[in-house]
Structure 1
Amino acid sequence: MTSAVELEHQWDRNLKVLPFVLLALATVVCIATFPVMGPVTVTTRIVFGVLVAATAVWTWRWTYLYDRPHPVGYIGRTLLVAALTVLHPLFCIFAWIGFLDAFDSFRGRWRWVAMAATALIMATGQVGGAPPYDEWWQGALWPVLFVVNFGLASLMGRYSIHLDTVSQERAETIVRLENALAENARLQEQLVAQSRQTGVRDERERLAREIHDTIAQSLAGVVAQLQAAEGSADAQDVRRRVARATEMARTALVEARRSVQDLTPAELADAGLADAISTLVASWRDDHGVEASFVVVGDATALHSEVEATLLRIAQEALANVAKHASASRVGVTLTFDEADVILDVRDDGSGFDPAAPRRSSSFGLGVMRERAQRLAGTFTLESAPGAGTAVSASIPALPRGPA
């Protein structure tokens, strides 16, 4: 299949050959019709032949040597064609070529001047030669033919200008579209790269939260149980604490695998949220010897797995903070189900602290709890004061269990 570039080159080659084809045709027709024009002198024939040769050389020079239309080339050829048309009117066959390249040779109003000169030569040849005329109709027809030739040529010229303008606009539109596509491709690459970076950052943050909320807490519990066993003189108490440390280590291993695979927390695999938090509170009470209660308000319903996992992790972190910092004697955990939200409250009667005071760089838990709640369009509030205990509350939309 021929491409657009090849077609354009083919047209250029054909347009370069066309003047010589018309020149040959006009020459043959003129030579063949010289006898019907009456007596033609040898001098006239010689002059005609010289002018034809000069026209051929002149046309070849500006077509192939300079390889572009030029006003000087156009003017010189037009004068030669005018002289040949005076010698033989049918040479106006070749004069038509002036309409073809007038717009390429000149700019502005000179285009129309060049086309008028060609139309004048065409009209002269069509009425049988240059004035004065033997018949009155020739003189009357000459301006009419000039107007017709110039009008038709002007119409085609204006249409050619319109086509060139449309073609140029289309070419510019194509260039703009190509640039827009290239820009879109570049932006798409940037978005993909940013999305990849965001995904990596979110995954790192998720793993950090999972490790902090589950594995790190379980391992801290293991260390606490082993330290207590080391300082105990009761063999039965030592065995109990070692067994508890072993259980915590196994739990940490399970959570490590589930964190990597982003699965539901182990506590929620076979139980609902209320049961999982109840088990958590009971286990925490046994491990730390602190009175802890758990209350469910409203009708417990199955929630979306992300909601349940988030509330369970917040409860784990809140209890871990109580064990580390509060020195509390009582802890209360409340899970409230209402129509729009599910609310988790954890309160203690410990030492409390000033929430406005600068926090230690290692204080990771409060920020994690807040991020977990906000990640699901929820809220997290903290109330505390030195010596007045601490209360944390997380409220998350009660999304029902099912597809996200």
Structure 2
Amino acid sequence: MSSLAVDVRGRPWSPAVIVAPYVVLAALALCTVIIKQGETSSLLVDLALCAAAAAWIAWMVTLHPGWRDRPRTMVIFFTGLIAILAVLVVRDPWFGIFAPVAYIYAFRVLRWPWLLAGAAAVAMLAGTAQASSVDKSTVFGLIGYFAVLAVNVVPMCGYAWIEWHQAKQHDQRDNALAEVSQANRELEAMLAENAALHERLLVQAREAGVLDERQRMAREIHDTLAQGLTGIITQLQAVEQAREDPARWRRHVEAATGLARESLSEARRSVHALRPEPLRTARLADALADVGDRWSSLHKVPIEVTTTGTPRPMHPEAEVALLRTAQEALANIAKHARATRVGVTLSYLEHEIALDVRDDGTGFTPQDLVLRTRAGVDGQREGAEESREGGGFGLVAMRERIEGLSGALQVESEPGNGTAISARIPATFAGATA
């Protein structure tokens, strides 16, 4: 229903409401004709005022329904209607019968606070018509007149206030419903946006997962197959040099065979995404000791593996990271350090798990470390083999593993004074509790 079909309080303008003023005015004009048959001049004035009232209503309300929504226009309309009605009531009290129609207009076209003034004006006209026979020249007459006015004005003003209060509550409810509807629309839009964002995040997560898996496999291949193949090549090269010594020749062949089997086992484990072989049957401390023993036997370098603190359960990923770090560090010592002594220490501290690998080898300068790391990154980008590029990806892989668990990797070395590698993982990320 359009705004033109309802009044200021949302009530419809029914045909009865529109036609009623004209019917009442016509009836009052007929009564006036009957009562004032011998008073021609006075009758003509009354009839002219009735016609003026009808024309005013027709022009301002009936013929221009769009003006009903204009508060100022309706105030002008109602003021003009009250003025015409006041003249009629003063001239002929029976025109007070038109008061109910004036009330209807007051409550349909006037907004607060004009509604209060309009209801009071109509009530005063109705009270004046009712008290037309009271002698207002005496004190008692005036008291009676004002009493009649009060009986009309007070209830109608009270009713006008009630109407305004109810309309205010209705508007508040409408505003609240509108706000809820708007909030629901915004929520639906937000949910749709969140759904699209969720889809994008899923795509990004899958892409990130693929990238992480590629990096993990690169580290796994480097830490297992590459190291194993490097060891096999070293042993086979030693076999060629030991042809005249059967015992030495056999020892190098057996070492190469063992490395090949171990590399095959690690390859199968990588395919099935299992934990490193040493960790399948032992805790990290025991696995480090086993790795150290096998490395010492292979390279004929004494190694001391020590565990300090109270061992406690760790997340498998943290154990893998520390074990691979130790394996890579030992592989680097075997290839570059020419060490005579190696020490590995696993420390269970209060707030972190630490792994330290030390050797007394040749060491290197910080510039060498930077060049080696850059070579590893470039080799990773270009797909170069480590044996051709001189190594370096091992340091990158160690750092990625440890920093991926919010840990830190430090490498300290000095030419002629060996090298120390320290990996530390917070206990919270390692899954270890004191």
TM-score norm. by structure 2 comes to: 0.67
2:80 alignment partner in structure 1: 79
Aligned Cα RMSD in Å? Answer: 4.8
Pairing 1:391–2:420 present: yes
Pairing 1:333–2:334 present: no
Q: Give me the whole-angstrom Cα distance separating, in 1, the residues matched to 2:134 and 2:19.
A: 26
Query: Residue by residue, what CA displacement relative to the aligned partner does 1:272-316 show, whole Å, maximum 9, x if unpaired?
Result: 2122112222333344x2414233345774522343223212211
After TM superposition, list the pairs within 5 Å mapping 1:195-206 onto structure 2.
Answer: 197=204, 200-201=207-208, 204-205=211-212
**Superposed displacement of residue 271, structure 1:** 1.6
2:123 alignment partner in structure 1: 122
Q: Is the 8 A contact 2:239 2:253 kept in 1?
A: no
Alignment-mate amino acid for residue 388 of structure 1:
N
1:291 alignment partner in structure 2: 301
Q: Give me the whole-angstrom Cα distance separating, in 2, the residues matched to 1:330 and 1:175.
A: 77
Q: Is the 8 A contact 1:290 1:328 kept in 2?
A: no
2:103 alignment partner in structure 1: 96
Between Structure 1 and Structure 2, how many residues are aligned?
Answer: 387
Q: Is the 8 A contact 1:92 1:125 kept in 2?
A: yes
| Uncovered stretches (5+) of structure 1, i.e. residues with no partner | 1-5, 105-110
1:31 alignment partner in structure 2: 27
C-alpha spacing 1:188/1:386, structure 2 compared with 1 (3 Å): farther
After TM superposition, list the pairs within 5 Å mapping 1:12-51 onto structure 2.
Answer: 15-17=11-13, 20-21=16-17, 24=20, 27=23, 31=27, 39-41=35-37, 50=51
Q: Give me the whole-angstrom Cα distance separating, in 1, the residues matched to 2:422 and 2:97.
A: 105
| Uncovered stretches (5+) of structure 2, i.e. residues with no partner | 244-248, 377-391
Q: Is the 8 A contact 1:343 1:396 kept in 2?
A: yes
Pairing 1:247–2:226 present: no
Selected match of 1:347 from 348, 358, 362: 358
Query: Residue by residue, what CA displacement relative to the aligned partner does 1:156-177 show, whole Å, maximum 9, x if unpaired?
Result: 4763685477458747865885
2:330 alignment partner in structure 1: 319
**Superposed displacement of residue 268, structure 1:** 0.9
Q: Is the 8 A contact 1:343 1:394 kept in 2?
A: yes
- SS at 1:15 equivalent: coil
Q: Is the 8 A contact 1:229 1:242 kept in 2?
A: yes
C-alpha spacing 1:294/1:192, structure 2 compared with 1 (3 Å): farther
Q: Which moved more, 1:248-257 or 1:381-390?
A: 248-257
C-alpha spacing 1:183/1:290, structure 2 compared with 1 (3 Å): farther
1:365 alignment partner in structure 2: 394
C-alpha spacing 1:381/1:242, structure 2 compared with 1 (3 Å): closer
Q: Give me the whole-angstrom Cα distance separating, in 2, the residues matched to 1:267 and 1:57.
A: 102
Q: Give me the whole-angstrom Cα distance separating, in 1, the residues matched to 2:131 and 2:230.
A: 120
Selected match of 2:64 from 62, 70, 79: 62
**Superposed displacement of residue 39, structure 1:** 2.0
Query: Residue by residue, what CA displacement relative to the aligned partner does 1:179-204 show, whole Å, maximum 9, x if unpaired?
Result: 97579655797688568747854773
Alignment-mate amino acid for residue 295 of structure 1:
V
1:218 alignment partner in structure 2: 225
2:389 alignment partner in structure 1: none
1:272 alignment partner in structure 2: 283
Q: Is the 8 A contact 1:215 1:252 kept in 2?
A: no
C-alpha spacing 1:371/1:68, structure 2 compared with 1 (3 Å): same
C-alpha spacing 1:290/1:192, structure 2 compared with 1 (3 Å): farther
Alignment-mate amino acid for residue 124 of structure 2:
A
**Superposed displacement of residue 93, structure 1:** 0.6
C-alpha spacing 1:343/1:166, structure 2 compared with 1 (3 Å): same
- SS at 1:387 equivalent: coil
Q: Which moved more, 1:72-81 or 1:393-402?
A: 393-402
Q: Give me the whole-angstrom Cα distance separating, in 2, the residues matched to 1:69 and 1:179.
A: 31
Q: Is the 8 A contact 1:123 1:145 kept in 2?
A: no
TM-score norm. by structure 1 comes to: 0.71
Q: Is the 8 A contact 2:4 2:69 kept in 1?
A: no
Query: Residue by residue, what CA displacement relative to the aligned partner does 1:36-60 show, whole Å, maximum 9, x if unpaired?
Result: 9982549579657745653552322
Q: Which moved more, 1:247-256 or 1:123-132?
A: 123-132
Query: Residue by residue, what CA displacement relative to the aligned partner does 1:296-344 show, whole Å, maximum 9, x if unpaired?
Result: 3457745223432232122112112223432334322233446665432
**Superposed displacement of residue 92, structure 1:** 0.8
